[in-house]
């Protein structure tokens, strides 16, 4: 999985690092920490350098259901034969409605 630093994400989306940090706190994005550095999966941004449509809502649904950030990340990047592919690939491929439906089903 390709990851980006906070600075790289900020540069790509045209925002300050503090705005990216706020997006993380608000649950609009998720990050992993490697060797003390906060990293965001590159797949969370589109080719147009925007957050993938449907990602914040999917994160919110799973977070509200009690899933931890690491569990949400794992789910987003785990292959699902019925999609096919991973939920993040489906979101990138404009199949957000199906991903959100699955996330909602997991909540119950």
Residues 6+ apart with CB under 8 A from 77: 1, 41, 86, 87, 88
Per-residue pLDDT reduced to its tens digit, 18-29: 999 999 999 999
Number of structural domains found in the chain: 1
Tokens of 80: 């699902």
Name the pLDDT band for 58 (thresholds 50, 70, 90): very high
Query: 0.75 exceeded by the pTM?
Result: yes
Domain that holds residue 23: 3-106
- Other C-beta atoms closer than 10 Å to the C-beta of 50 total 12
What local confidence, expressed as pLDDT, does residue 19 receive?
A: 97
Per-residue pLDDT reduced to its tens digit, 9-57: 999 999 999 999 999 999 999 999 999 999 999 999 999 999 999 999 9
What local confidence, expressed as pLDDT, does residue 108 receive?
A: 67
To 10 degrees, the CA torsion angle through 15, 41, 60, 25? -50
């Amino acid at each position: 999985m390709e990851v980006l630093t906070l600075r790289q994400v900020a540069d790509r989306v045209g925002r300050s690092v503090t705005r990216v940090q706020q997006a993380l706190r608000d649950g609009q994005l998720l990050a992993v920490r490697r060797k003390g550095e906060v990293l965001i999966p590159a797949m969370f941004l589109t080719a147009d350098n925007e957050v993938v449509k449907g990602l914040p809502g999917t994160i919110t649904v799973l977070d509200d259901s009690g899933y931890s950030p690491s569990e949400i990340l794992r789910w987003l990047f785990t292959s699902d034969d019925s999609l096919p592919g991973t939920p993040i690939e489906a979101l990138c491929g404009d199949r957000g409605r199906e991903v959100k439906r699955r996330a909602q089903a997991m909540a119950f």
